[in-house]
Amino acid sequence: MENITNNIEATGTNIINNISNDFKTIKFYKSPAFYTFIIYVILIILFVFFIDNPKKKYLFGDIYMDKQYKIQWSKFLTVPYGYDTPKNIILSLSTNPSILYSLLFTILLPNIVDVKYPSSKPFFSGVLISIVIIIILYIIHMVLLKYIFKLKNDGNKIDDKINKLTKDNYYSEVYQGQWLLLLFLSPIYAMILVYIFRKS
């Protein structure tokens, strides 16, 4: 157990040192992946802050907005079950798109993409693989929850807005915002993950 802990600490220290050294080199700032990452992050920030409220509500759904049209970020990880009981913890972990995606993508990425390849190619390949995984996950997720298990309102959810949903719009209202947010943010996660794997 002590050896495992020491290995984890050594790996973490090594990654941090490599990243710190990278920031000091000119080559790092010449990378097309770096500029792509910065531009995309800026665009996402501008989108969140400057998109008008009706469009924001249409994209993310009423469940994830308060009365002032502010996005309630924490709900993207807690809706629809929350984490108040062991059962709800299991349901949340097994159905939340962000959690499913992050686990699957983190495991698959180094096995599909050569993250050590000395160019910007792994970063863009990682983003492409990320989008493909999201599409596949979305199809499986929708088929299982909407058509096989027939996810519906049981009146025991964590938000009154959820309890008012009908079976016809339940899946789209609950999960549309989660899938869209995941799609928007996944390129950022993919590029950061590729970078961490390269430095490990």
pLDDT per residue over 47-58, tens digit each? 877 777 666 666
Number of domains in the chain: 2
Residues 21, 37 within the same domain: no
Report yes or no on whether pTM surpasses 0.95. Answer: no
Closest C-alpha among 139, 179, 176, 171 to residue 152: 171
Residues 6+ apart with CB under 8 A from 194: 109, 113, 115, 122, 123, 126
Q: Which domain holds residue 17?
A: 1-25
Residues 53, 3 within the same domain: no
Ranges of residues in the chain whose predicted pLDDT is under 50: 6
Residue-level pLDDT at 39? 93
Residues 108, 148 within the same domain: yes
Contact call for residues 100 and 137 (beta carbons, < 8 A): yes
Residues 75, 1 within the same domain: no
Residues 194, 154 within the same domain: yes
From the CB of residue 168, how many other CB atoms can be counted at a distance below 10 Å? 9
Residues 106, 78 within the same domain: yes
Q: What angle do CA 200, 14, 23 make, to 5 degrees?
A: 85
Residues 11, 98 within the same domain: no
